[in-house]
Structure 1
Amino acid sequence: MNNKISGVLFDLDGTLLDTANDLGAALNYVLRKYNLAEVARETYRPIASDGALGLLTLGFADTLKAYDYEQLRAEFLAYYQENIAVHTCLYPGVAQLLLTLDEQNIPWGIVTNKPEGLTRQLLPHYAEFEKCLSLVGGDTFANRKPHPEPILKACEEISIPSEQCLYVGDALRDIAAGNSAKASTVVAKWGYILAGEDCKSWQADYHAETPLEVLSFIR
Protein backbone atom coordinates (compact mmCIF):
# COMPACT_ATOMS: atom_id res chain seq x y z
CA MET A 1 0.00 0.00 0.00
CA ASN A 2 1.18 3.50 -0.86
CA ASN A 3 2.26 4.99 2.48
CA LYS A 4 0.80 8.32 1.45
CA ILE A 5 -2.76 7.00 1.05
CA SER A 6 -4.49 5.47 4.05
CA GLY A 7 -8.16 6.27 3.29
CA VAL A 8 -10.47 6.91 0.34
CA LEU A 9 -13.46 9.20 -0.12
CA PHE A 10 -15.82 9.06 -3.08
CA ASP A 11 -18.37 11.23 -4.81
CA LEU A 12 -21.61 9.28 -5.28
CA ASP A 13 -23.59 10.09 -8.44
CA GLY A 14 -21.46 9.36 -11.49
CA THR A 15 -18.69 7.80 -9.39
CA LEU A 16 -20.06 4.91 -7.33
CA LEU A 17 -23.66 4.81 -8.55
CA ASP A 18 -25.12 5.40 -12.00
CA THR A 19 -28.19 7.34 -10.91
CA ALA A 20 -28.81 9.10 -14.22
CA ASN A 21 -31.84 7.09 -15.35
CA ASP A 22 -33.78 7.63 -12.13
CA LEU A 23 -32.91 11.34 -12.08
CA GLY A 24 -33.82 11.60 -15.75
CA ALA A 25 -37.13 9.87 -15.09
CA ALA A 26 -37.92 12.47 -12.42
CA LEU A 27 -37.10 15.26 -14.85
CA ASN A 28 -39.25 13.77 -17.60
CA TYR A 29 -42.13 13.26 -15.15
CA VAL A 30 -42.13 16.99 -14.40
CA LEU A 31 -41.80 17.89 -18.07
CA ARG A 32 -44.77 15.70 -18.98
CA LYS A 33 -46.80 17.32 -16.24
CA TYR A 34 -46.29 20.70 -17.92
CA ASN A 35 -46.78 19.33 -21.44
CA LEU A 36 -43.17 19.87 -22.41
CA ALA A 37 -40.91 17.62 -24.47
CA GLU A 38 -39.03 14.92 -22.60
CA VAL A 39 -35.22 14.81 -22.59
CA ALA A 40 -33.32 11.85 -24.03
CA ARG A 41 -30.92 9.83 -21.87
CA GLU A 42 -27.86 10.87 -23.84
CA THR A 43 -28.77 14.50 -23.16
CA TYR A 44 -29.57 14.31 -19.44
CA ARG A 45 -26.86 11.81 -18.49
CA PRO A 46 -23.90 14.27 -18.45
CA ILE A 47 -25.99 16.67 -16.33
CA ALA A 48 -27.19 14.06 -13.82
CA SER A 49 -24.73 14.96 -11.06
CA ASP A 50 -25.83 18.61 -11.20
CA GLY A 51 -28.98 17.65 -9.31
CA ALA A 52 -32.45 19.14 -9.55
CA LEU A 53 -31.30 22.61 -10.56
CA GLY A 54 -29.08 21.37 -13.38
CA LEU A 55 -31.68 18.95 -14.72
CA LEU A 56 -34.62 21.32 -14.50
CA THR A 57 -32.56 24.01 -16.19
CA LEU A 58 -31.76 21.53 -18.93
CA GLY A 59 -35.37 20.47 -19.40
CA PHE A 60 -37.11 23.83 -19.12
CA ALA A 61 -34.29 25.87 -20.71
CA ASP A 62 -35.30 29.49 -21.32
CA THR A 63 -38.84 28.88 -20.07
CA LEU A 64 -37.69 28.02 -16.53
CA LYS A 65 -38.08 31.62 -15.33
CA ALA A 66 -41.78 31.49 -16.25
CA TYR A 67 -42.42 28.81 -13.61
CA ASP A 68 -42.23 28.62 -9.83
CA TYR A 69 -38.85 26.93 -9.49
CA GLU A 70 -39.44 25.79 -5.92
CA GLN A 71 -42.66 24.08 -7.01
CA LEU A 72 -40.87 22.34 -9.88
CA ARG A 73 -38.08 21.26 -7.55
CA ALA A 74 -40.56 19.88 -5.02
CA GLU A 75 -42.32 17.87 -7.75
CA PHE A 76 -39.00 16.60 -9.08
CA LEU A 77 -37.78 15.51 -5.64
CA ALA A 78 -41.09 13.92 -4.67
CA TYR A 79 -41.06 11.72 -7.77
CA TYR A 80 -37.38 10.92 -7.33
CA GLN A 81 -37.85 9.90 -3.68
CA GLU A 82 -40.65 7.52 -4.65
CA ASN A 83 -38.55 5.98 -7.44
CA ILE A 84 -35.05 6.42 -6.09
CA ALA A 85 -33.59 3.01 -6.89
CA VAL A 86 -35.62 1.72 -9.83
CA HIS A 87 -32.86 1.93 -12.43
CA THR A 88 -29.87 3.03 -10.33
CA CYS A 89 -26.96 0.58 -10.20
CA LEU A 90 -23.33 0.36 -9.16
CA TYR A 91 -20.83 0.95 -11.93
CA PRO A 92 -19.00 -2.22 -13.01
CA GLY A 93 -16.04 -2.74 -10.72
CA VAL A 94 -17.32 -0.63 -7.83
CA ALA A 95 -18.41 -3.65 -5.77
CA GLN A 96 -14.95 -5.23 -6.12
CA LEU A 97 -13.25 -1.90 -5.38
CA LEU A 98 -15.16 -1.43 -2.12
CA LEU A 99 -14.69 -5.08 -1.14
CA THR A 100 -10.93 -4.77 -1.66
CA LEU A 101 -10.78 -1.64 0.48
CA ASP A 102 -12.71 -3.49 3.20
CA GLU A 103 -10.42 -6.53 2.97
CA GLN A 104 -7.35 -4.32 3.29
CA ASN A 105 -8.87 -2.38 6.20
CA ILE A 106 -8.69 0.89 4.28
CA PRO A 107 -11.40 3.20 5.63
CA TRP A 108 -13.65 4.86 3.07
CA GLY A 109 -16.61 7.19 2.90
CA ILE A 110 -18.83 9.24 0.62
CA VAL A 111 -18.86 13.01 0.08
CA THR A 112 -21.66 14.05 -2.25
CA ASN A 113 -23.60 17.20 -3.08
CA LYS A 114 -26.78 15.10 -3.06
CA PRO A 115 -28.93 16.07 -0.05
CA GLU A 116 -28.04 13.90 2.93
CA GLY A 117 -31.61 12.70 3.41
CA LEU A 118 -31.90 11.43 -0.15
CA THR A 119 -28.49 9.80 0.11
CA ARG A 120 -29.41 7.96 3.30
CA GLN A 121 -32.59 6.76 1.61
CA LEU A 122 -30.67 5.51 -1.43
CA LEU A 123 -27.64 3.73 0.04
CA PRO A 124 -29.46 0.92 1.93
CA HIS A 125 -30.61 -0.46 -1.43
CA TYR A 126 -27.01 -1.57 -2.03
CA ALA A 127 -25.33 -3.92 0.46
CA GLU A 128 -21.91 -2.83 -0.80
CA PHE A 129 -22.23 0.42 1.17
CA GLU A 130 -22.63 -1.31 4.53
CA LYS A 131 -19.08 -0.46 5.67
CA CYS A 132 -19.14 3.17 4.59
CA LEU A 133 -17.64 5.02 7.57
CA SER A 134 -18.62 8.57 6.65
CA LEU A 135 -21.49 10.07 4.70
CA VAL A 136 -21.47 13.80 3.98
CA GLY A 137 -24.26 15.26 1.87
CA GLY A 138 -24.61 18.59 0.16
CA ASP A 139 -26.57 20.00 3.09
CA THR A 140 -24.74 18.27 5.97
CA PHE A 141 -22.51 21.27 6.71
CA ALA A 142 -22.58 24.98 5.94
CA ASN A 143 -20.56 24.51 2.76
CA ARG A 144 -20.70 22.04 -0.10
CA LYS A 145 -18.23 21.10 -2.83
CA PRO A 146 -16.22 22.76 -4.34
CA HIS A 147 -15.56 24.06 -0.80
CA PRO A 148 -13.14 21.75 1.04
CA GLU A 149 -15.17 21.60 4.27
CA PRO A 150 -17.16 18.41 3.41
CA ILE A 151 -13.99 16.49 2.58
CA LEU A 152 -12.15 17.76 5.65
CA LYS A 153 -15.07 16.75 7.88
CA ALA A 154 -15.28 13.31 6.27
CA CYS A 155 -11.54 12.81 6.79
CA GLU A 156 -12.09 13.50 10.49
CA GLU A 157 -14.88 10.92 10.56
CA ILE A 158 -12.71 8.20 9.02
CA SER A 159 -9.76 9.29 11.20
CA ILE A 160 -7.44 10.01 8.27
CA PRO A 161 -5.45 13.24 7.69
CA SER A 162 -6.63 14.82 4.45
CA GLU A 163 -3.06 14.64 3.14
CA GLN A 164 -3.35 10.83 3.34
CA CYS A 165 -6.76 10.70 1.66
CA LEU A 166 -7.64 9.88 -1.94
CA TYR A 167 -10.77 11.64 -3.24
CA VAL A 168 -12.47 10.24 -6.34
CA GLY A 169 -15.05 12.20 -8.33
CA ASP A 170 -16.34 12.87 -11.83
CA ALA A 171 -16.76 16.66 -11.76
CA LEU A 172 -14.55 19.72 -11.56
CA ARG A 173 -16.10 20.65 -8.21
CA ASP A 174 -14.96 17.28 -6.83
CA ILE A 175 -11.36 17.80 -7.86
CA ALA A 176 -11.37 21.43 -6.72
CA ALA A 177 -12.69 20.42 -3.30
CA GLY A 178 -10.16 17.61 -2.95
CA ASN A 179 -7.26 19.78 -4.01
CA SER A 180 -8.30 22.53 -1.60
CA ALA A 181 -8.48 19.96 1.20
CA LYS A 182 -4.92 18.83 0.29
CA ALA A 183 -6.13 15.34 -0.59
CA SER A 184 -4.89 13.39 -3.59
CA THR A 185 -7.52 13.55 -6.33
CA VAL A 186 -8.74 11.15 -9.00
CA VAL A 187 -10.99 11.92 -11.98
CA ALA A 188 -13.57 9.14 -12.41
CA LYS A 189 -13.59 9.15 -16.20
CA TRP A 190 -16.44 6.61 -16.35
CA GLY A 191 -18.82 9.16 -14.82
CA TYR A 192 -20.96 12.07 -15.98
CA ILE A 193 -18.43 13.99 -18.02
CA LEU A 194 -19.47 16.01 -21.06
CA ALA A 195 -18.05 14.86 -24.38
CA GLY A 196 -15.00 16.91 -25.19
CA GLU A 197 -14.50 18.05 -21.59
CA ASP A 198 -10.82 18.78 -20.90
CA CYS A 199 -10.44 16.89 -17.62
CA LYS A 200 -6.69 17.52 -17.64
CA SER A 201 -7.38 21.18 -16.90
CA TRP A 202 -8.97 20.15 -13.58
CA GLN A 203 -5.48 19.56 -12.13
CA ALA A 204 -6.24 16.18 -10.59
CA ASP A 205 -3.39 13.97 -9.43
CA TYR A 206 -4.72 10.93 -11.28
CA HIS A 207 -7.20 9.92 -13.99
CA ALA A 208 -8.95 6.53 -13.80
CA GLU A 209 -10.76 4.89 -16.72
CA THR A 210 -12.43 2.29 -14.46
CA PRO A 211 -13.24 1.99 -10.75
CA LEU A 212 -10.73 -0.82 -10.20
CA GLU A 213 -7.95 1.39 -11.55
CA VAL A 214 -8.32 3.46 -8.37
CA LEU A 215 -6.59 0.66 -6.48
CA SER A 216 -3.41 1.28 -8.45
CA PHE A 217 -3.12 4.71 -6.85
CA ILE A 218 -3.18 3.16 -3.37
CA ARG A 219 -0.99 0.09 -3.68
Structure 2
Amino acid sequence: MTFKGIFFDLDGTLINSIDDIADSVNIALKDNGFPIHGREKYFKFVGNGMKKLVERALPLDVPKETILAVYEQVKTEYSKRWNKKTAPYPKIDNLLKELQRKNIIIGILSNKPHDFTEQVVKHYFSEFDFAFVQGAEEPFPHKPDPKLALHIVKKLKLYSQEIIYVGDSDVDMQTAVNANFYPVGVSWGFRSKEELWENGAKFVVDDPMEILALLDK
Protein backbone atom coordinates (compact mmCIF):
# COMPACT_ATOMS: atom_id res chain seq x y z
CA MET A 1 0.00 0.00 0.00
CA THR A 2 1.24 3.50 -0.84
CA PHE A 3 1.95 5.76 2.12
CA LYS A 4 -0.25 8.85 2.14
CA GLY A 5 0.69 10.39 5.48
CA ILE A 6 3.63 10.81 7.83
CA PHE A 7 2.96 11.54 11.49
CA PHE A 8 5.82 12.79 13.64
CA ASP A 9 6.70 12.79 17.29
CA LEU A 10 7.96 16.24 18.35
CA ASP A 11 10.65 16.29 21.07
CA GLY A 12 13.73 14.34 20.05
CA THR A 13 12.36 13.90 16.53
CA LEU A 14 11.71 17.33 15.03
CA ILE A 15 13.21 19.49 17.78
CA ASN A 16 16.06 19.15 20.26
CA SER A 17 14.38 20.44 23.40
CA ILE A 18 16.25 18.53 26.09
CA ASP A 19 18.07 21.52 27.60
CA ASP A 20 14.96 23.65 28.10
CA ILE A 21 13.14 20.65 29.58
CA ALA A 22 16.03 19.81 31.92
CA ASP A 23 16.43 23.43 33.02
CA SER A 24 12.72 23.76 33.79
CA VAL A 25 12.58 20.59 35.88
CA ASN A 26 15.85 21.31 37.70
CA ILE A 27 14.66 24.76 38.76
CA ALA A 28 11.48 23.26 40.20
CA LEU A 29 13.41 20.47 41.92
CA LYS A 30 15.89 22.88 43.48
CA ASP A 31 13.14 25.26 44.65
CA ASN A 32 11.44 22.36 46.42
CA GLY A 33 14.59 21.02 48.07
CA PHE A 34 15.17 18.01 45.82
CA PRO A 35 18.41 16.98 44.06
CA ILE A 36 18.80 18.12 40.47
CA HIS A 37 19.97 15.94 37.58
CA GLY A 38 22.52 16.19 34.81
CA ARG A 39 21.37 16.66 31.23
CA GLU A 40 22.01 13.02 30.29
CA LYS A 41 19.48 11.75 32.83
CA TYR A 42 16.70 13.61 31.07
CA PHE A 43 17.09 11.57 27.90
CA LYS A 44 15.56 8.69 29.86
CA PHE A 45 13.12 10.75 31.93
CA VAL A 46 11.24 12.13 28.91
CA GLY A 47 8.90 10.29 26.56
CA ASN A 48 5.75 9.51 28.52
CA GLY A 49 4.45 13.01 29.14
CA MET A 50 5.36 15.86 31.46
CA LYS A 51 3.79 14.44 34.61
CA LYS A 52 5.67 11.16 34.22
CA LEU A 53 8.84 13.18 33.59
CA VAL A 54 8.38 14.89 36.96
CA GLU A 55 7.70 11.57 38.71
CA ARG A 56 10.92 10.12 37.30
CA ALA A 57 12.94 13.17 38.34
CA LEU A 58 11.69 13.03 41.94
CA PRO A 59 12.73 10.51 44.62
CA LEU A 60 10.56 7.39 44.83
CA ASP A 61 8.97 8.12 48.21
CA VAL A 62 7.54 11.56 47.37
CA PRO A 63 3.80 11.93 48.17
CA LYS A 64 1.32 12.50 45.36
CA GLU A 65 0.54 16.05 46.52
CA THR A 66 4.20 17.01 46.21
CA ILE A 67 4.44 15.47 42.75
CA LEU A 68 1.48 17.56 41.62
CA ALA A 69 2.92 20.74 43.13
CA VAL A 70 6.28 20.22 41.43
CA TYR A 71 4.51 19.34 38.18
CA GLU A 72 2.61 22.63 38.25
CA GLN A 73 5.83 24.53 38.84
CA VAL A 74 7.57 22.69 36.01
CA LYS A 75 4.78 23.79 33.65
CA THR A 76 5.25 27.37 34.82
CA GLU A 77 9.03 27.22 34.40
CA TYR A 78 8.77 25.60 30.98
CA SER A 79 6.35 28.30 29.82
CA LYS A 80 9.15 30.82 30.48
CA ARG A 81 11.94 29.02 28.62
CA TRP A 82 10.56 26.54 26.07
CA ASN A 83 12.39 28.38 23.26
CA LYS A 84 15.61 29.45 25.01
CA LYS A 85 17.83 26.59 23.82
CA THR A 86 15.44 24.50 21.73
CA ALA A 87 15.95 24.27 17.96
CA PRO A 88 14.83 22.05 15.07
CA TYR A 89 17.26 19.32 14.12
CA PRO A 90 19.27 19.86 10.90
CA LYS A 91 17.41 19.17 7.63
CA ILE A 92 13.99 18.86 9.29
CA ASP A 93 12.77 21.91 7.38
CA ASN A 94 14.09 20.39 4.14
CA LEU A 95 12.23 17.16 4.81
CA LEU A 96 8.94 18.90 5.60
CA LYS A 97 9.20 21.08 2.49
CA GLU A 98 9.76 18.03 0.30
CA LEU A 99 6.86 16.14 1.88
CA GLN A 100 4.56 19.06 1.21
CA ARG A 101 5.82 19.28 -2.36
CA LYS A 102 4.87 15.62 -2.75
CA ASN A 103 1.41 16.28 -1.23
CA ILE A 104 2.05 13.94 1.67
CA ILE A 105 -0.24 14.54 4.65
CA ILE A 106 1.89 15.56 7.64
CA GLY A 107 0.96 15.82 11.30
CA ILE A 108 2.41 15.85 14.79
CA LEU A 109 1.40 13.53 17.63
CA SER A 110 3.25 14.18 20.89
CA ASN A 111 3.02 13.31 24.58
CA LYS A 112 3.94 16.91 25.38
CA PRO A 113 0.98 18.83 26.87
CA HIS A 114 -1.23 19.99 24.02
CA ASP A 115 -0.92 23.73 24.65
CA PHE A 116 2.88 23.55 24.65
CA THR A 117 2.84 21.36 21.54
CA GLU A 118 0.80 23.92 19.63
CA GLN A 119 2.96 26.79 20.87
CA VAL A 120 6.23 25.12 19.91
CA VAL A 121 5.05 24.04 16.45
CA LYS A 122 3.65 27.49 15.68
CA HIS A 123 6.98 29.05 16.65
CA TYR A 124 9.36 26.71 14.82
CA PHE A 125 7.27 25.37 11.93
CA SER A 126 4.74 28.08 11.07
CA GLU A 127 5.43 27.81 7.33
CA PHE A 128 4.16 24.23 7.14
CA ASP A 129 0.59 23.12 6.64
CA PHE A 130 0.12 20.31 9.16
CA ALA A 131 -3.11 18.35 8.92
CA PHE A 132 -3.09 18.26 12.73
CA VAL A 133 -0.88 19.22 15.67
CA GLN A 134 -1.82 17.15 18.69
CA GLY A 135 -0.29 16.92 22.14
CA ALA A 136 -1.42 15.04 25.22
CA GLU A 137 -5.01 15.97 25.99
CA GLU A 138 -7.95 14.53 27.89
CA PRO A 139 -9.83 12.26 27.52
CA PHE A 140 -7.24 10.33 25.52
CA PRO A 141 -4.45 8.34 27.20
CA HIS A 142 -0.80 9.06 26.40
CA LYS A 143 1.16 7.18 23.78
CA PRO A 144 1.89 4.28 23.35
CA ASP A 145 -1.86 3.75 23.72
CA PRO A 146 -3.09 4.06 20.11
CA LYS A 147 -6.53 5.56 20.81
CA LEU A 148 -5.64 9.15 19.92
CA ALA A 149 -3.61 8.12 16.88
CA LEU A 150 -6.49 6.02 15.56
CA HIS A 151 -8.97 8.82 16.29
CA ILE A 152 -6.88 11.15 14.12
CA VAL A 153 -6.61 8.59 11.30
CA LYS A 154 -10.39 8.20 11.28
CA LYS A 155 -10.92 11.98 11.15
CA LEU A 156 -8.53 12.23 8.20
CA LYS A 157 -10.33 9.35 6.44
CA LEU A 158 -7.13 7.36 6.10
CA TYR A 159 -6.14 3.77 6.85
CA SER A 160 -3.50 2.91 9.44
CA GLN A 161 -1.49 1.04 6.81
CA GLU A 162 -1.14 4.30 4.86
CA ILE A 163 0.70 6.04 7.72
CA ILE A 164 4.39 6.24 8.61
CA TYR A 165 5.02 7.20 12.23
CA VAL A 166 8.42 8.77 12.92
CA GLY A 167 9.88 8.99 16.41
CA ASP A 168 12.97 8.66 18.57
CA SER A 169 11.91 6.39 21.45
CA ASP A 170 10.45 3.07 22.54
CA VAL A 171 7.14 4.86 23.17
CA ASP A 172 6.99 6.05 19.57
CA MET A 173 7.78 2.66 18.06
CA GLN A 174 5.23 0.99 20.36
CA THR A 175 2.65 3.60 19.35
CA ALA A 176 3.23 2.85 15.68
CA VAL A 177 3.00 -0.90 16.24
CA ASN A 178 -0.16 -0.56 18.35
CA ALA A 179 -1.83 1.64 15.72
CA ASN A 180 -0.64 -0.53 12.82
CA PHE A 181 1.42 2.33 11.38
CA TYR A 182 4.82 1.82 9.73
CA PRO A 183 7.35 2.50 12.53
CA VAL A 184 10.39 4.62 11.61
CA GLY A 185 13.02 5.52 14.18
CA VAL A 186 15.46 8.42 14.10
CA SER A 187 19.00 8.07 15.41
CA TRP A 188 19.52 11.76 16.29
CA GLY A 189 17.00 11.84 19.13
CA PHE A 190 16.99 11.04 22.84
CA ARG A 191 17.28 7.23 22.70
CA SER A 192 19.49 4.58 21.10
CA LYS A 193 19.09 2.74 17.81
CA GLU A 194 18.96 -0.51 19.79
CA GLU A 195 15.92 0.69 21.70
CA LEU A 196 14.18 1.61 18.46
CA TRP A 197 14.81 -1.78 16.83
CA GLU A 198 13.83 -3.66 19.99
CA ASN A 199 10.48 -1.88 20.11
CA GLY A 200 9.37 -2.54 16.57
CA ALA A 201 11.15 -0.12 14.23
CA LYS A 202 11.10 -1.32 10.62
CA PHE A 203 13.44 1.42 9.44
CA VAL A 204 15.91 3.64 11.34
CA VAL A 205 17.33 6.75 9.68
CA ASP A 206 20.46 8.78 10.38
CA ASP A 207 19.40 11.67 8.14
CA PRO A 208 15.87 13.12 7.83
CA MET A 209 15.97 12.99 4.04
CA GLU A 210 16.32 9.18 4.15
CA ILE A 211 12.63 9.03 5.06
CA LEU A 212 11.77 10.07 1.51
CA ALA A 213 13.01 6.71 0.20
CA LEU A 214 9.99 5.03 1.81
CA LEU A 215 7.65 7.01 -0.41
CA ASP A 216 9.22 5.57 -3.55
CA LYS A 217 8.63 1.94 -2.61
Length-normalised TM-score, structure 1: 0.88
Q: After superposition, give the CA deviation of every residue in 1:107-152 in whole Å (9 maximum; x if it has no partner).
A: 1000111111111122121135631111222115523311212222
Partner of 2:62: 64
Structure 1 runs (4+) deviating above 4 angstroms are: none
- Aligned residue among 203, 208, 215 for 2:200: 203
Decide whether aligned partners of structure 1 residues 173 and 58 sit closer, same or farther in structure 2, where only a CA change above 3 A counts: closer
Give 2:182's aligned residue.
184
Question: For residues 73-95 of structure 1, what are the alpha-carbon distances to aligned partners after superposition, in whole Å with 9 as ceiling and x for unaligned?
Answer: 00000110121111111011211
The amino acid that maps onto 1:25 is: D
**Match of 1:80?**
78
Say yes or no: does 1:212 pair with 2:209: yes
**RMSD between aligned alpha carbons?**
2.2
Aligned partner (choices 95, 98, 101) of residue 99 of structure 2 = 101
- Which of the numbers 39, 42, 52 marks the counterpart of 1:41? 39
In the alignment, structure 2 segments of 5+ residues that lack a partner are none
Q: Against the structure 1 CA distance between its residues 140 and 133, is the aligned structure 2 distance closer, same or farther, given a 3 Å change threshold? A: farther
Letter in 2 for 1:148: P
TM-score, structure 2 normalization: 0.89
Q: 1:76 and 1:91, CA in 2 relative to 1: closer, same or farther beyond 3 A? A: same
How much does 1:49 deviate? 2.9
Gaps of at least 5 residues in structure 1 are: none
* Identity percentage of aligned residues: 25
User: What does the per-residue CA deviation read over 1:32-60, in whole Å, with 9 as the maximum and x for residues that have no partner?
Assistant: 21244432212223433344334333432
| Count of residue correspondences | 216
Letter in 1 for 2:38: A
* Secondary structure of the structure 2 residue equivalent to 1:85: coil
